[in-house]
Amino acid sequence: MATLSTPEGERAAMEAFQRDVIEPSMSSLVILDFYADWCGPCKQVAPVLEKVAADYADKGVKLVKIDVDKNPAVAAQFRVQSIPQIYALYQGQPVADLTQARTEPQFRQFLDQILPQLGIGAESEEDQAAAQMQEQKDLAAQHAAAGEHIEALKIYQLLLQQAPKDEVVLGGAAVSLIALGDETQAGTLIANIPDDSTTAEVVQARKALQLAENAVDPAELEALAAKVEANADDHAARIAYGEALAGAGRGEEAAAQYLESIRRDREHDEGAARRKLLELFEASGVGAPWVMGARRKLSSMLFS
């Protein structure tokens, strides 16, 4: 909100009007409130106008208050004969007389009608497209976090057609491909991303691809499980079992093995189980529903 102060002479007043009203009106809707300090009705409508203008500021509305006693030249230009007198200006021209409006709903109704007509505050086609893409990215990430990687991958594949170099999309698609057992295609996508990328989805995909390399055949997985069952304190076997589970996409089960190893002996092999667990967190992403619980358990063990 701007208020025109007493300028030295008519020329200064018009220069201030040009700066504070005309120039902003080239891209915003400027509401002119002609008032005086002695005017009772002006004092009644002022807080209503100020609240509405503040609420609509991010939609391209600006309020300018003009004291008619201090700016008679401006008041004369608009032929103000009584106050309050309220006009709406756009691109230097009056587009509406709001003098009869007194309540917040009346001002809001006017703004809700005229802003779309003038195209003020409207998103550009580029902004709309970017917002739609972000919505689709968020939806794909939600599917992936819920373990619904087929649904996530379908969305990522559509997004790749629109933005084939988008690192969030490439990384997200790679993560879902790995979860679905297609490490080859995931590796192809990751190869298109700069090595120094720090995008969270890319970091997760690369770590997930590394863990997938630890996958073993079912017979070996069963053998590792048997070794752990036979000797609960065989930490090397338990950690190897955790790696194999992680490689098979069974992250929550892998985390349970690492946590059990930490519970029994957190210092084994210089904290190997903890390192493996942190790598698993990185590969699983913050959205995986089990990660938060596993992190809490880890903190409880380390700081108890």
**Distance, CA of 46 to CA of 33 (rounded, Å):** 8
- Within the chain, residue ranges assigned H as helices are 9-17, 23-25, 40-55, 72-77, 104-118, 125-145, 149-162, 167-179, 183-191, 200-212, 218-230, 235-247, 251-264, 272-284, 291-303
Amino acid at 168: V
Kind of pairing between the strands at 93-97 and 61-67: unpaired
Check if 189 is active-site. no
64, 20 contact by CB (below 8 A): yes
| Three-state secondary-structure class, residue 235 | helix
To which residue do tokens 């004291």 refer?
A: 67
Q: In the beta sheet, which residues pair with residue 35? A: 67
Is cis: bond before 218, omega within 30 of 0?
no
Between the alpha carbon of residue 254 and those of residues 154, 242, 259, 265, 275, the distances in Å are 27, 4, 9, 17, 13
Q: What are phi and psi of 29, to 5 degrees?
A: -90, 115
Can you say how many angstroms the Cα of residue 60 is from the centroid of all Cα atoms in its chain? 22
Q: In the beta sheet, which residues pair with residue 4? A: 66
Q: Which one of the listed residues 16, 42, 155, 246 is annotated catalytic?
A: 42
Helices 167-179 and 183-191: crossing angle in degrees, nearest 10, is 160
Q: Which one of the listed residues 39, 86, 175, 178 is annotated catalytic?
A: 39
Check if 275 is active-site. no
Q: What is the dihedral of CA 102, 106, 112, 114, to 10 degrees?
A: -70
**Catalytic amino acids?**
39, 42
